[in-house]
Amino acid sequence: MTVKTRFAPSPTGFLHVGGARTALYSWLYAKHMGGEFVLRIEDTDIERSTQEAIDAILEGMEWLGLEWNEGPYYQTKRFDRYNEVVDQLLAQDKAYKCYAPKALLDEIREEQMAAGDKPRYDANHPKVVAANTEATESSPFCIRFRNPKEGTVVFDDKIRGHIEIANSELDDLIIRRTDGSPTYNFCVVIDDWDMGITQVVRGEDHINNTPRQINIYEAIGAPVPEFAHCSMILGDDGAKLSKRHGAVSVMQYRDEGYLPQALLNYLIRLGWSHGDQEIFSMDEMIKLFSLESISKSASAFNTDKLLWLNNHYIKTAEPEYVAEYLQWHLDAKSIDTSNGPSIIEVIKLVGERCNTLIELAEQSRYFYQDFEEFEAGAAKKHLRPVAKEALELALSKAESLQDWTTENLHQLIADTCSDLELGMGKVGMPLRVAVTGQGQSPSVDAVMALLGKDKVVTRIAKALNFISAREANA
Ligand code: GLU
């Protein structure tokens, strides 16, 4: 049988890291098995579902590169189908109309609690029986699934192992509300059946729903899929991950300068392992992933590790890949790269020093934009009258340099040092501040090579003016 998995978010908010990890695991399992992956939007809760959240989920999935083979399906477009199955279950007496009004059920619940019993719906409660017998054609009703009274529901969760629950613990679930809308536990089963889902990977908050859903699968004669319930993600303080811990929306990680590859690598390790390996290419993730190796215990989020991975991918990923995501940040900072070197070359030179794409965009700026001012501390220290001679000599050598390469610029700096009998720092640092505006940059010969002759010549001249002005004011 072809493996088919799905991710089925409720569009009540953005795609958060917990959802993204579930989506990743589900997607990876399908890929690993050569199967298919379905995206389904569970929007039956009309009050809480929004188009904005749907868009945010799709945007997050796309940004992460978790492509789906089918969908997105929308539950709100499938009401006819759900009703068809409800009618079938009614005809087979596997479901029934329940006329007991909510107020009455609340009252019974109170009584049960006061008596120290577990509150639950009881179809045989005299008040419920009475409500049902007194009801007329026009009385409002909901539809309940007739849960088996005897026996146990058993399943082997791929993560949590053998799970068993007695049917006596489960009450007759509402499958269609009084207003005619179908409920989550019912829709999910019909969808997973119709869509041919073979493995359901989802959060552990759904584990209590699973036995109820298995009974529905059996009642409609559908094959029961396998289940894998993933544990929670905690913040680094041990509390359930929430907004309080900073970024939880996947798109916020984009905004903060992470590469999707880094986030995916981070997420796969958040509750899954393969020995002590930390770095996984997409191909390795797909090849090595298994549901059985997902951890049962909760995992704690660690931003430092995510940063470390991000730096790793900025350094080692194909520069073309980094460029694709860096461009978004350059645009956000209005850095126009058309009048400077290729951003691929800038990434190769500057990338390894940066933990985020925001830093990388900032460190790319001086290749494309002239700066108004030199960084104050660096200028104070390195653009001093003593540096004038070195800068003047370097400028004249630069003006006459024909072949503008890193090697030749390296030689130019070395010659300036030996001509003036100065150490490397006395020439290199003033030059660095002159051409980049700041005290730190990659190797200054390589930076000058990429900047090009025009920018270098203009900027050294500007630094010399700066020194003269400083002298005049002294
Ligand atoms: N819509 C549910 C949620 O967002 C997931 C249901 C499922 O995966 O079965 O929590």
pLDDT digits (tens, 9 = 90+) for 352-408: 999 999 999 999 999 999 999 999 999 999 999 999 999 999 999 999 999 999 999
Q: If you measure from the C-alpha of residue 10 to the centroid of ligand 1, how many angstroms do you get, rounded to a whole number?
A: 6
Answer yes or no: are the C-beta atoms of 297 and 234 closer than 8 Å: no
pLDDT of residue 247: 62
- Burial class for 46, CB neighbours closer than 10 Å (0-12, 13-18, 19+): exposed
Please choose, from the candidates 363, 410, 395, the residue with its C-alpha nearest in 3D space to the C-alpha of residue 464.
395
243 labelled binding-site residue? yes
For 336, the 3-state DSSP assignment is coil
pLDDT of residue 82: 98
Query: What is the token pair recorded at 445?
Result: 């010969």
Q: Among 7, 10, 48, which is best to mutate for testing ligand 1, by the most ligand atoms less than 8 A from CB?
A: 10
Q: Which CATH class is domain 372-474?
A: mainly alpha
Q: If you measure from the C-alpha of residue 202 to the centroid of ligand 1, how many angstroms do you get, rounded to a whole number?
A: 7
For 229, the 3-state DSSP assignment is strand
Q: Is 42 in the pocket of ligand 1 (CB under 6 A)?
A: yes
Please choose, from the candidates 465, 446, 439, the residue with its C-alpha nearest in 3D space to the C-alpha of residue 341.
446
The answer regarding whether domain 80-176 maps to CATH 3.40.50.11310 reads no
Residue written as token pair 């390790």: 269
Domain with CATH 3.90.800.10 in the chain: 80-176
pLDDT of residue 130: 93
Domain with CATH 1.10.10.350 in the chain: 372-474
Please choose, from the candidates 325, 314, 306, 324, the residue with its C-alpha nearest in 3D space to the C-alpha of residue 348.
314
pLDDT of residue 241: 79
pLDDT digits (tens, 9 = 90+) for 40-60: 999 998 899 999 999 999 999
Domain with CATH 3.40.50.620 in the chain: 4-72+183-234
Q: Is 330 in the pocket of ligand 1 (CB under 6 A)?
A: no
- Burial class for 123, CB neighbours closer than 10 Å (0-12, 13-18, 19+): middle
Q: Is 43 in the pocket of ligand 1 (CB under 6 A)?
A: no
Give 215's contacts (C-beta < 8 A, 6+ positions apart): 145, 147, 148, 153, 167, 170
pLDDT of residue 1: 79
Q: Among 206, 230, 232, which is best to mutate for testing ligand 1, by the most ligand atoms less than 8 A from CB?
A: 206
Region at 270 (left for phi over 0; alpha for psi -120 to 50; beta for the rest): beta
Question: What CATH number is given for 4-72+183-234 in this structure?
Answer: 3.40.50.620
Q: If you measure from the C-alpha of residue 123 to the centroid of ligand 1, how many angstroms do you get, rounded to a whole number?
A: 28
pLDDT of residue 246: 66
Please choose, from the candidates 323, 303, 313, the residue with its C-alpha nearest in 3D space to the C-alpha of residue 262.
313
* H or E stretch at 174: strand 174-176
The pLDDT averaged over each successive group of 10 residues in the chain (474 residues) is: 95 93 98 98 92 97 98 97 98 97 94 92 93 92 97 98 96 96 96 98 96 98 98 85 76 96 97 96 98 93 94 98 98 96 97 97 97 96 97 98 97 98 96 98 98 98 96 86
Q: Is the dihedral of CA 415, 419, 423, 427 positive or negative?
A: negative
Give 431's contacts (C-beta < 8 A, 6+ positions apart): 390, 391, 394, 413, 444, 448, 460
243-316 has which fold?
Glutamyl-tRNA Synthetase; domain 2 (1.10.1160)
Domain with CATH 1.10.1160.10 in the chain: 243-316
Q: If you measure from the C-alpha of residue 200 to the centroid of ligand 1, how many angstroms do you get, rounded to a whole number?
A: 10
